[in-house]
Structure 1
Amino acid sequence: MTSTPRSVIIVGGSLAGLMHGVYFKRHGSDVVILEQDPSELRSSHQAGIAFGPAVEEFLRKYDHTGVQSRSPPIATRLAYRKRKDIKRLSIVRHETSWGLLYRVLRANFDGLASDAVPNPPPVRDGDGRAQYLAGRRVTGLEHNRGDQVVSVRFVDQDGKEGSLTADLVIGADGGNSTVRTLLQAPTIRGYSGYVAWRGTVPEKDVSPETARYFADFSTLTLLGDTYFVCYPIPPDTPTFSPGTRLINWVWYWNLAESSSEMADILMDTAGRVHGTTVPAGLVRPEAWKRQLARTVSRVTAPLAELLSATPPSAVFVTKVNDALCEASPVFCDGKVLLVGDAFAHFRPHLTMATEQAAWHCLGLEKVRQGEMEMDQWAKEARVYAKRMHLASNLVGVFGVGRWWELLKTVCQYVVFMVRLNLRKG
């Protein structure tokens, strides 16, 4: 892909799809994003995400909104049971919310105005056309060897079928990627053995002491068999001053997949059992109350207050899964690519999903500029994915006290890194 494709179809309109959409639009491609969610402005669930160097570089190059999209750097602190501050780690991070970054990227991609970006940047000379088509569920993908284009079939909200063709198709449709399935890409998928309870609380809804405790840190609270991560994030608007933010928390909890408890927590307020996630607003109050009662007496006073201040309507719960494509991310003679979670979906402990998407995008920029061959990009993407997959698993099983799995994962990681260094040597 040393030349810019004239037309690009991106399947998936979340952060990975939008990053690639912005990139190709800025370089003159006509880009269509097909997103199965019918909402024109997707719900964020007020989820927090972390910034890494690749995301920073991508926004420095391609964000023209001028909107602050991340927090100042915050440090990392460990708590253990009721001990509030047992160690400070030399890990400094920038945090933001999914909703804010989504709105910034939409403003850059198709000029969507929102509460976060009321005045999107104008189209610039050299930009390609950009369309974000919500409510389109992709059903088919066709490329005949020798064809210059790929055809994508989809169904809209009314059940009407349609199709589009493009020079390049990018699968950016998440851990349960339809594109990856249509390509029959060999993939290792699995349930981690634990779920993630998540929620947010406005800083103003907790005591000043608790707000100050969480204000400048990403706080990891370990209990031996479960753990929490808490940090401040903006709401869906660029608001970063103390008192205006949300305190985001994630709680990892061991739970057998086939247990009656799993079926119970995945049942929503209407009695429907979800496959992976019960969204915010649908978690049954009695399920959250039961979960809270199990642990709130074991944690620090600030964390206990934070959890108790979280209403059921602000809680959601997700089975923690992962997926790792064992093939190259390049298919159909370079006409179809898998990026972001569609290629490798990590457990969330290292918060690398958005970083991987930006890393993929910046790598494709090097390919276009002739600094890297596509084969090299694919090779590096596979190494990156395997390394982050193992590292994320390692942190997760340590945090929830699965010691046998921890030992096994450490061995796998060491063997992988030794083999990698030997190949480099």
Structure 2
Amino acid sequence: MATLPKSVIIVGGSIAGLLHGVYLKRNGTNVTILEQDANAIRSSHNAGICFGPSVQEFLRLYDDTGIQSCQPGVITRLAYRQNLYWKDANIVRHLTSWGLLYRILRANFDGFPSEAVTPPPVPRTGDGKGRYLSGKKVTSLQKTEDGVVVSFVGEDGMEESFMADLVIGADGLHSTVRSLVQAPMVKEYSGYISWRGTVCEADVSPGTAGYFQDRTVLGLLKGTYIVCYIIPPDAASFVPGTRLINWVWYCNLPETPETNLEELLTDSNGHVHTNTVPSGLVRPEVWKAHLAEMLPLIPAPFAELFAKTENPFVTKVNDALCSKATFLDGRVLLVGDALSTFRPHFAVATEQAARHCLGLGRVWKGEMTLELWEKEAVHYAIKMWLGSRVIGAGLLRGWSEFLFFAWEYVMFFTMSKIGV
């Protein structure tokens, strides 16, 4: 499809789906987002994300809220074992919270008001219509002469169908669209998990708050590592003392009977989760047992964050990679994590989604073909997928796995250079 579609259904109402929804709406397309989560606004878990140049460019062009969207660029500090000031690196990142970016995009897409964006911006002249429908689980896709029929089931069990010129699968790691089109893919558990949480700056000691001020901090330990940085709360406050110190703690946990991964993913209600036990549902005894084992090894500023986190959440670190992004003669596309989910060490998931969106804009403007967009999207996906595996193996998994993934990474670039 080389021209801008008049109607689009996007499956998945998270960041990737909203980026594409806002772009299409701004260019006059009528867009319906089908989100499986029944809540009117998605839970953020106070998770942090990183901005790349594509995200910044997208917001410059299409965000009309006028509010600050991220923490300005900050340097990166490396702590090695107990040496808290081992090295400062000139790696600059723009940081924000998932919840704030979600609220900004929702305000632009369907005028959703929130504590961050009050009131939402008025539509631009020439905007299409944006609908965000929660609690809709897609069950089938059928290509016709006029477009694609998307069938879905609501919370009440009623089946409905919509037709659109184009369907975009932006429904993440466990993508329904990807399954329905039988996309060729590989999917793998990494062998490690991530604990995540936030603590308000005002709730930690001045020394700890100062240590994490205006920088990303990586704590490199034996067989585990920690990433910390400051983000705004979902309400968009960037005032020191009101912000959150966001942390991610990676720990090895192979999927074996001895490690009992299923036990970790069983929440306080007895439900076993596939991937993430949400904030507030992690069983207290599981978190306390982990802290009791690990805190004696953790430097003081990190240990204080963990001890003062009330509702952490835990996630299996998976990755997934598709070798194809277009289906049904270009009427169905996979974008964001639905196309490829990286281990999060590069923090480029949001950047990838924005790249996909801006790239499709070039297709619809006639500046590149859909085939070239797919080729570039898949090439970027393979590069980041391989690179994130190298980093994860080097920091967590040991030399043999690191060398294997590094060899794959080198071979990919070598073959790319010679045109294979």
1:100–1:238: 8 Å Cα contact kept in structure 2? yes
Helix, strand or coil for the counterpart of 1:349? Answer: coil
1:71–1:96: 8 Å Cα contact kept in structure 2? yes
The one-letter amino acid of 2:23's match is: Y
Q: Measure how far apart 1:272 and its partner are.
A: 2.1
Q: Measure how far apart 1:287 and its partner are.
A: 0.5
2:321 aligned residue: 324
Structure 2 length normalisation: TM-score?
Answer: 0.98
The one-letter amino acid of 1:111's match is: G
| Alignment partner of 2:222 out of 217, 221, 224 | 224
Alignment of 1:372-387 (within 5 A): 372-387=368-383
Taking the aligned partners of 1:353 and 1:415, their CA distance within structure 2 comes to 24
2:171 aligned residue: 173
1:125 aligned residue: 125
1:79 aligned residue: 79
1:226–1:401: 8 Å Cα contact kept in structure 2? no
Helix, strand or coil for the counterpart of 1:272? Answer: coil
Q: Measure how far apart 1:422 and its partner are.
A: 1.8
2:4–2:365: 8 Å Cα contact kept in structure 1? no
Structure 1 stretch displaced more, 4-13 or 413-422: 413-422
Q: Measure how far apart 1:299 and its partner are.
A: 2.0
The one-letter amino acid of 1:190's match is: E
Structure 1 stretches lacking a partner, 5+ long: none
Q: Measure how far apart 1:244 and its partner are.
A: 0.9
Q: Measure how far apart 1:148 and its partner are.
A: 2.6
Q: After superposition, what is the alpha-carbon deviation per residue over 1:109-159, rounded to whole angstroms, capped at 9, x for unaligned?
A: 000010000111111111111100000000001114xx1310000000010
Structure 1 stretch displaced more, 244-253 or 290-299: 290-299
Alignment of 1:14-413 (within 5 A): 14-144=14-144, 147-259=145-257, 260-311=259-310, 314-326=311-323, 328-413=324-409
Give RMSD over aligned pairs: 1.1
Helix, strand or coil for the counterpart of 2:149? Answer: strand
Q: Measure how far apart 1:224 and its partner are.
A: 2.2
The one-letter amino acid of 2:150's match is: V
1:222–1:228: 8 Å Cα contact kept in structure 2? yes
Taking the aligned partners of 1:38 and 1:397, their CA distance within structure 2 comes to 37
Helix, strand or coil for the counterpart of 1:162? Answer: strand
Taking the aligned partners of 2:398 and 2:242, their CA distance within structure 1 comes to 37
The one-letter amino acid of 2:363's match is: V
Taking the aligned partners of 1:262 and 1:402, their CA distance within structure 2 comes to 20
The one-letter amino acid of 1:206's match is: V
Helix, strand or coil for the counterpart of 1:392? Answer: helix
Q: After superposition, what is the alpha-carbon deviation per residue over 1:288-334, rounded to whole angstroms, capped at 9, x for unaligned?
A: 011112221212211111111112xx2000111111012x2111111
Q: After superposition, what is the alpha-carbon deviation per residue over 1:227-264, rounded to whole angstroms, capped at 9, x for unaligned?
A: 11011111102211221110111111111213343122
Taking the aligned partners of 1:122 and 1:17, their CA distance within structure 2 comes to 21
Helix, strand or coil for the counterpart of 1:164? Answer: strand
Structure 1 stretch displaced more, 233-242 or 359-368: 233-242
The one-letter amino acid of 1:173's match is: D
Paired residues in the alignment total 419
The one-letter amino acid of 1:306's match is: L
2:416 aligned with 1:420: yes
Helix, strand or coil for the counterpart of 1:372? Answer: coil
Taking the aligned partners of 1:78 and 1:261, their CA distance within structure 2 comes to 32
Taking the aligned partners of 2:208 and 2:49, their CA distance within structure 1 comes to 21
Helix, strand or coil for the counterpart of 1:239? Answer: coil
Structure 1 stretch displaced more, 205-214 or 80-89: 80-89
Taking the aligned partners of 1:410 and 1:135, their CA distance within structure 2 comes to 42
Q: Measure how far apart 1:205 and its partner are.
A: 0.7
Structure 1 stretch displaced more, 272-281 or 43-52: 272-281
Helix, strand or coil for the counterpart of 1:154? Answer: strand
Taking the aligned partners of 1:381 and 1:172, their CA distance within structure 2 comes to 14
Q: What stretches of structure 1 move > 6 A for 4+ residues in a row?
A: none
Q: Measure how far apart 1:171 and its partner are.
A: 0.2
Taking the aligned partners of 2:95 and 2:226, their CA distance within structure 1 comes to 16
Q: Measure how far apart 1:168 and its partner are.
A: 0.5
The one-letter amino acid of 2:232's match is: P
Taking the aligned partners of 1:148 and 1:222, their CA distance within structure 2 comes to 55
Identity %: 57
The one-letter amino acid of 1:163's match is: S
Helix, strand or coil for the counterpart of 1:159? Answer: coil
2:362–2:368: 8 Å Cα contact kept in structure 1? yes
Q: After superposition, what is the alpha-carbon deviation per residue over 1:150-174, rounded to whole angstroms, capped at 9, x for unaligned?
A: 0000000010000000001000000
1:224–1:401: 8 Å Cα contact kept in structure 2? no
1:71–1:94: 8 Å Cα contact kept in structure 2? yes
Q: After superposition, what is the alpha-carbon deviation per residue over 1:170-227, rounded to whole angstroms, capped at 9, x for unaligned?
A: 0000011000000001110010000111111111110011001011111111112011
The one-letter amino acid of 1:275's match is: T
Taking the aligned partners of 1:273 and 1:181, their CA distance within structure 2 comes to 22
Q: Measure how far apart 1:393 and its partner are.
A: 1.0
Q: Measure how far apart 1:402 and its partner are.
A: 2.3
The one-letter amino acid of 1:192's match is: S
The one-letter amino acid of 2:350's match is: T
